[in-house]
Amino acid sequence: MKSFLTEIKDRYGSGDYEGDQFGGARGHNGNGLPTGLPNNFMFATGIECSYPTIDNGKTRRDMLAECDHYNRYKEDLGLVKEMGLKVLRYGLPYYQIQQGPGKYDWEFADLAMGEMQRLGITPILDLMHFGVPDWLGNFQNPELVVHFADYCEQVAKRYPWVRYYTPVNEIYVTAKMSAKDGIWNEQLKSDKAFVTALKHCVAASIMGNQQIAKHRPDCVIVQSESAEFTHELRAEHTSAVQLENLLRFTSLDLLYAHHPEGEVLNYLYDNGMTRREYDWFMAGEPPGYQIMGNDYYGRNEKIMLPNGEMVTSMDVLGWYNITRDYYLRYKKPVMHTETNVFDANEGPTWLWKQWVNILRMRKEGVPVLGFTWYSLIDQIDWDKGMATKTGTVNACGLFDLDRKPRPVADAYKMLLQEYGQITIVPHGELFEVTERPATLKVEV
């Protein structure tokens, strides 16, 4: 298989990438915060937009379709406004829009983006959410990197008013579910396939970020990633579980040019990553203001019992403790980018628990920039990772599928009333706020 570096060289004339070596808009010690954040602290929700394939590519799970957003997008965006929220994590249906090299269908995207602009909603625009267009196949395809970068550039040119982006949502989860757990897309179950998917997703994010920054040099990149951990209840820990707890960092290690632990590096080399590819990732960070988004659900945290059985631990460490590990590793401003619970009656309590986690993090002076209840409306079949299409409604939305409010909607409104005017960080003098635009250090 050709390397993604070859594809980049063929497309752009050079495979070299030096990244942002000098801090860019990240300011003093890499911790600069962007100006112009809506209402300072970003209270947000999201519209679930996953679109992986299952059944060996025969079935497309499009949550925007299954939850009827295509028909009710005006109503859904109106609910965001009604909630008093000004920020929305929103994913355009990439698999529909890019219909071939240089060929795009913007019909629905233009309608939705126009309505958001009319309502004054600030989107954090999600450009790849667990799936790719049929003509690109899956995440094993090295051509994905350059075609996705072209798509990102077209989005940035078409919607120049958008500043906030998530180029590739949950890179680690994307690669794991598609290539190691065998559930989505290529449905492979091997370490080599996992590493291939991982490096293609990270490279796609980097190259997409580069193209966005050409047109929005002050872009803010909110990189959502799943905050995970496995507790191993064995007197002697096994190397496999301990490696898994290190691999959860790998997507951000590659994205942020952070050298991983030796055993992780050996794992990458043993499973197909070349030294040249690794050096490319370690050359520097993508341009723009980089915000580390951590998604946390109780089911992200697991316990392995002595007999090998895996159970959900549900909030043993919690968002605070797990995200703190990520923050100390990367020293990036933080956003809580996803959370929910499937029992509607437990929604309000879970919301308040997550908010307590955020307040605790902020008390330590960590720059937490925002919070997201995900999602606006209920989801379908996420209790089984969308692996089978049974139509089970997961009651995790602020509103149900009839667009009637769940109890958590009132709780979120109460939270907004109490905390709606808080600032980004309690000790802002620790961080340089700069109006300097992010700069593209290297032409690609």
Give dist(CA 54, CA 390) in Å, integer.
Answer: 13
Local confidence pLDDT in tens for the 444 residues of the chain = 789 999 999 998 877 776 664 434 443 333 445 555 555 789 999 999 999 999 999 999 999 999 999 999 999 999 999 999 999 999 999 999 999 999 999 999 999 999 999 999 999 999 999 999 999 999 999 999 999 999 999 999 999 999 999 999 999 999 999 999 999 999 999 999 999 999 999 999 999 999 999 999 989 999 999 998 999 998 888 998 999 999 999 999 999 999 999 999 999 999 999 999 999 999 999 998 899 999 999 888 999 999 989 888 878 899 999 999 999 999 999 999 999 999 999 999 999 999 999 999 999 888 899 999 999 999 999 999 999 999 999 999 999 999 999 999 999 999 999 998 887 655 443 344 455 665 554 444
Q: Which residues have CB under 8 Å from 135's CB, separation 6+?
A: 99, 100
330-to-32, 73, 87, 270 alpha-carbon distances in Å: 14, 36, 25, 25
> 367, 358 in Cβ contact below 8 A?
no
363-to-41, 180, 336, 343, 367 alpha-carbon distances in Å: 15, 38, 15, 30, 10
**Tokens linked to 26:** 């990240």
Domain assignment of residue 23, yes or no:
no
Domain assignment of residue 55, yes or no:
yes
Domain assignment of residue 223, yes or no:
yes
Phi, psi at 250, each rounded to 5°: -60, -40
Task: Give the tens place of pLDDT for each residue, 175-199.
Answer: 999 999 999 999 999 999 999 999 9
The two most distant CA atoms of the chain are separated, in Å, by: 59
Domain assignment of residue 442, yes or no:
no
Give dist(CA 293, CA 370) in Å, integer.
Answer: 9
Q: Which amino acid is at 299?
A: R
Question: Does this model's pTM top 0.85?
Answer: yes
Task: Give the tens place of pLDDT for each residue, 404-427.
Answer: 999 999 999 999 999 988 876 554
Q: How many structural domains are present in the chain?
A: 1
Would you state the pLDDT for residue 426?
A: 52
Strands 229-232 and 301-304: parallel
> 222, 164 in Cβ contact below 8 A?
yes
> 219, 165 in Cβ contact below 8 A?
yes
Domain assignment of residue 112, yes or no:
yes
| Strand order from edge to edge, sheet including 301-304 | 229-232, 301-304, 310-312
Partners of 79 in beta bridges: none
Would you state the pLDDT for residue 37?
A: 52
Partners of 89 in beta bridges: 46, 124
> 216, 284 in Cβ contact below 8 A?
no
Domain assignment of residue 349, yes or no:
yes
Domain assignment of residue 426, yes or no:
no
Residue 434 has, within 13 A of its CA and on its CB side, a CA count of 21
Domain assignment of residue 202, yes or no:
yes
- CATH label of the domain that carries residue 44: 3.20.20.80
> 29, 364 in Cβ contact below 8 A?
no
Give dist(CA 8, CA 283) in Å, integer.
Answer: 15
Phi-psi region of 318 (alpha: psi -120 to 50; beta: other; left: phi over 0): left
Would you state the pLDDT for residue 355?
A: 97
**Tokens linked to 58:** 């025969």
Q: What's the alpha-carbon Rg for the chain, to the nearest Å?
A: 20
C-alpha angle 197-301-173 in degrees, rounded to nearest 5: 15
424: nearest Cα among 30, 41, 39, 85:
41
> 290, 267 in Cβ contact below 8 A?
no
> 90, 144 in Cβ contact below 8 A?
no
Range of the domain at 128: 4-11+38-420
